Amino acid sequence: MLFLAEGIVGQKMTVGESQEPLLRMVGITKRFPGVVANDHVDLELYQGEVLALLGENGAGKSTLMNVLNGLYRADEGSIYVRGERVGIRSPRDAYELGIGMVHQNFMLVETMTVAENVVLGLRDLSFRLDLGGVKRRLQELGEQYGLKVDPDAYIWQLSVGEQQRVEILKLLYRDVDVLILDEPTAVLTPQEVDDLVEVLRRVIGDGKAAVFITHKLREVMKFADRVTVLRDGKNVATRLTRETSPDALARLMVGREVLFRVEKTACEPGDAVLEVDSLRALDDKGLPALRGVSLTVRAGEIVGIAGVAGNGQRELAEVITGLRQAMGGEVYVSQERMTNCRPLRAIRSGVAHIPEDRIGMGLVGDMSVAENLALKAYRDSAFSRGPVLHPEGMRRFAEELIDGFAIVTPRAETRVKFLSGGNLQKTILARELTACEGLLVAVHPTRGLDVGATEAVRAQLLEERDRGTAVLLISEDLDELLEVADRIAVMFEGQIVGTRKTDDAGRDEIGLMMAGDGMEKEGMAT
């Protein structure tokens, strides 16, 4: 056990070719209308290892794992578990074989408690639910693996990180041997990522194995034993992490040399575009989320908001864009008072918003990519004559954006919900950057994007800035803020606890402020 546990820490374990793989996928092919999402993909997973699955947006990672999990059925290929060929036709079959998955978008019932969610869908439940037993078992598991969650808490009361713990507990409760985690770290804070690694370490130490999808090469290097790279639905390579490097992996993923830095020139700020003064607002639960936030963003400047999730960042973006009521304070955009204006007014005055919740707010899943791209522009005269829409104009517009932003979709008419996670985000970006005139509020704009796309987005943000747009960039990724922001304001418990010019900002100092240290409560220097 100890030896296996080391797989994830310093010394990487050796995966002997002689050892029988716990799981083997051979020649998996999955086609969707217009795309081959997986093209004869092979994958092996050994006991006691963490396998990272790497690839660009739309490379077919989620699809492959959904096949393994029984959500999709492969058109070709076979799956072997402990050497025996199996047919996995539903997530339930997968559970029976000891395979469980945490999806990119969680699948919990918000209005139920943790314990209820865990037993949901279990087949061999007795008629009378013994929730007490369930809770005891959850407590045990929680202690064993370091996954502390209150079994009686309702899902809606939990943070994203806690919800993820519930998803993992659900799998452990079902006693799976193979955990599939689809981009688990995309929504986590650095601290939560460390916690997750700790959990995985214990799980693997128990003789289980995990497949883990991520776009962050640093994470791959840090806690995967092996890495399998997909490109355009095909296997490109499988490597031991200790024998490879982030650069090499990036090259494998993209198929060419990638540059990791975006060019950033000095900023030349103009007049103040966004002015926020002593803003106060409540969160969804009615608790104070903003307690007197003041800040200024000038034309041609990117101001980053750093902070651990849940310190009021989301609420700040929503109040500025008119989606949430301010309980006090003022918002001005280009000298015009916009406090508690309707969302349409904000849009009309050129405020663009990349929302945190892509699927819930940013897109309409059952409408086409083209329609989603036109969600704001349909009001323009280019798309309509009077009240009548002009489908041809809409299609041309969509095709331009699909080209310009390299959105991977079979057709412009494809329903947007069939796009891969990264391409969903690109769709929103394309729409918002086109609609933007004056102010861009971007909330986690690169979450879930692959390396190439992340760099492209960052370059686009800088380009917007150089065009004279004021950008408010809310991000949990400190590297991102240090890379593109001109100034960084740190939010903690609904207040801005400090502002630094990016050039003189120390990583550590900002990290400390994010944790609430060194509260100095200064106004934003302009």
Partner 1 sequence: MRIVFEKRERVSHTVRVLVPVISLVFALVFGAVLLLFSGVSPGAAYAAMARGAFGSSRALAETFVKAIPLMLTGLAVAVAFRMLFWNIGAEGQLAMGGLTAAGVALFASEGLPSWSVLPITILAGTLAGALWAAIPAALRAYLGVNEVITTLMMNYVAILLVSHMYHGPWRDPAGYGFPGTARLPETAWLPRLYGRAHLGLFFAVVAAVVLWFVLQRTKWGFELRIVGENPEAARYIGIDIPRLMLVAMLVSGGLAGLAGVCEVTGVMRRLQQGLTVGHGYTAIIVAWLAQLNPWAVLLVGFLLAGLLVGGDQIQMAMGLPAAVGLVLQGALLFPMLGGALFTEYRLRIVRTATEDFRTPEETGLEEAGS
Ligand X SMILES: Nc1ncnc2c1ncn2[C@@H]1O[C@H](COP(=O)(O)OP(=O)(O)OP(=O)(O)O)[C@@H](O)[C@H]1O
Q: If you ran DSSP here, which 8-state letter would residue 112 be given? A: S
CB under 5 to 8 A by kind: which of Mg ion, partner 1, ligand X, none does 344 bind?
A: partner 1
Q: How far is the CB of 79 from ligand X (least distance, A)?
A: 17
Rounded-to-integer distance, Cα 161 and Cα 343, Å: 30
Q: How far is the CB of 517 from partner 1 (least distance, A)?
A: 35
Q: Residue 360, interface with partner 1 (CB under 8 A)?
A: yes
Residue 170 tokens read as 């659900």
Q: Residue 62, interface with ligand X (CB under 6 A)?
A: yes
Rounded-to-integer distance, Cα 102 and Cα 100, Å: 7
Q: Residue 80, interface with ligand X (CB under 6 A)?
A: no
Sheet containing 336-337: give its strands across: 288-298, 272-282, 328-333, 336-337
CB under 5 to 8 A by kind: which of partner 1, ligand X, Mg ion, none does 161 bind?
A: none
- For 25, 36, 93, 159, 420, the CA distances from 29, given in Å and listed in that order, are 10, 7, 20, 36, 17
Q: Residue 86, interface with partner 1 (CB under 8 A)?
A: yes
Residue 63 tokens read as 């699809």
Q: Residue 122, interface with partner 1 (CB under 8 A)?
A: no
Task: With contacts defined by CB under 5 A, name the span among 61-69, 279-287, 288-296, 364-372 that binds Mg ion.
Answer: 61-69
Q: For the beta carbon of residue 378, count every other beta carbon within 10 angstroms.
A: 16
CB under 5 to 8 A by kind: which of partner 1, ligand X, Mg ion, none does 60 bind?
A: ligand X
Q: Residue 430, interface with partner 1 (CB under 8 A)?
A: no
Q: For the beta carbon of residue 194, count every other beta carbon within 10 angstroms.
A: 12
The correct pick among 367, 418, 434, 515 for binding ligand X (CB under 6 A) is 418
Q: Residue 57, interface with ligand X (CB under 6 A)?
A: yes
Q: Is the torsion defined by CA of 78, 79, 83, 89 positive or negative? A: negative
Q: How far is the CB of 366 from ligand X (least distance, A)?
A: 12
The number of residues that bind partner 1 (CB under 8 A) is 49
> Quick check: 312 and 494 in contact, CB under 8 A?
yes
Q: Residue 508, interface with partner 1 (CB under 8 A)?
A: no
491 bridge partner residues? 496
The correct pick among 39, 41, 58, 62 for binding Mg ion (CB under 5 A) is 62
Burial class (CB in 10 A: 0-12, 13-18, 19+), 294: middle
Rounded-to-integer distance, Cα 446 and Cα 450, Å: 8
* Chain center to CA of 324: 23
> Quick check: 293 and 494 in contact, CB under 8 A?
yes
Residue 219 CB partners (closer than 8 Å, separation 6+): 52, 185, 193
Convert residues 396-415 into a mask of x (bound to ligand X by CB under 6 A) and - (unbound): ------------x-------
Q: Residue 269, interface with Mg ion (CB under 5 A)?
A: no
The correct pick among 243, 366, 392, 503 for binding partner 1 (CB under 8 A) is 366
151 or 422: CB nearest ligand X:
422
The correct pick among 37, 67, 224, 250 for binding ligand X (CB under 6 A) is 37
Interacting residues toward partner 1 by CB under 8 A: 33, 72-74, 76-78, 84-90, 93-94, 96-97, 321-323, 342-348, 353, 355, 357, 360-367, 371, 375-376, 378-379, 384, 387-389, 391
Interacting residues toward ligand X by CB under 6 A: 32, 35, 37, 55, 57-63, 408, 418-423
Interacting residues toward Mg ion by CB under 5 A: 62, 421
